[in-house]
Amino acid sequence: MVPRYARPAMTAIWAPETRFRIWFEIEAHALDAMADLGIVPREAAEAVWERGGFEVERIDAIEAQVRHDVIAFLTNVAEHVGPEARFLHQGMTSSDVLDTALAVQFARASDLLLEDLDQLLAVLKRRAIEHKLTPTIGRSHGIHAEPVTFGLKLAFAYAEFARCRARLVAARQEVATCAISGAVGTFANVDPRVEAHVAAKLGLTVEPISTQVIPRDRHAMYFATLGVIASSIERLATEIRHLQRTEVLEAEEYFAPGQKGSSAMPHKRNPILTENLTGLARMVRAYVTPALENVALWHERDISHSSVERYIGPDATITLDFALARLTGVIDKLLVYPERMAKNLDRMGGLVHSQRVLLALTQAGASREDSYRLVQRNAMRVWESDGALSLLELLKADPDVAALLPPDQLEQSFDLGYHLKHVDTIFERVFGA
Annotated catalytic residue within 262, 304, 367, 385: 262
The span from the CA of 341 to the CA of 344, in Å, is 5
DSSP for 133-179?
T-EEEEEETTEEEEEEEHHHHHHHHHHHHHHHHHHHHHHHHHH-EE-
Q: Please state the φ and ψ torsions of residue 347, each to the nearest 5 degrees.
A: -60, -35
Report CA-CA distances (Å) from 28 to 15, 97, 214. 20, 11, 20
Q: Does the annotation count 141 as an active-site position?
A: yes
DSSP for residue 251: E
Q: Report yes or no: 48 and 34 within 8 Å, Cβ to Cβ.
A: no
For residue 340, the SS3 value is: helix
Tell me the C-alpha distance between 135 and 123, whole Å: 20
The neighbouring-strand residues paired with 178 are 206
Q: Report helix angle 304-333 to 94-130, nearest 10.
A: 20
Rounded-to-integer distance, Cα 120 and Cα 136, Å: 23
Terminal CA-to-CA distance of the chain, rounded, Å? 43
Check: CB of residue 81 under 8 Å from CB of residue 51: yes
Is 94 annotated in the active site?
A: no
Long-range contacts of 204-209 (CB under 8 A, 24+ apart): 204/100, 204/103, 204/104, 204/107, 204/176, 204/177, 204/178, 205/173, 205/176, 205/177, 205/178, 206/177, 206/178, 207/177, 207/178, 207/179, 207/181, 209/185
Cα separation, 48 vs 25, whole angstroms: 10
CA 137, 140, 145, 148 dihedral sign is: negative
Active-site residue identified among 68, 80, 141, 307:
141
**DSSP classification of residue 207:** P
Residue 368: helix, strand or coil by DSSP? helix
Residues labelled catalytic: 141, 262
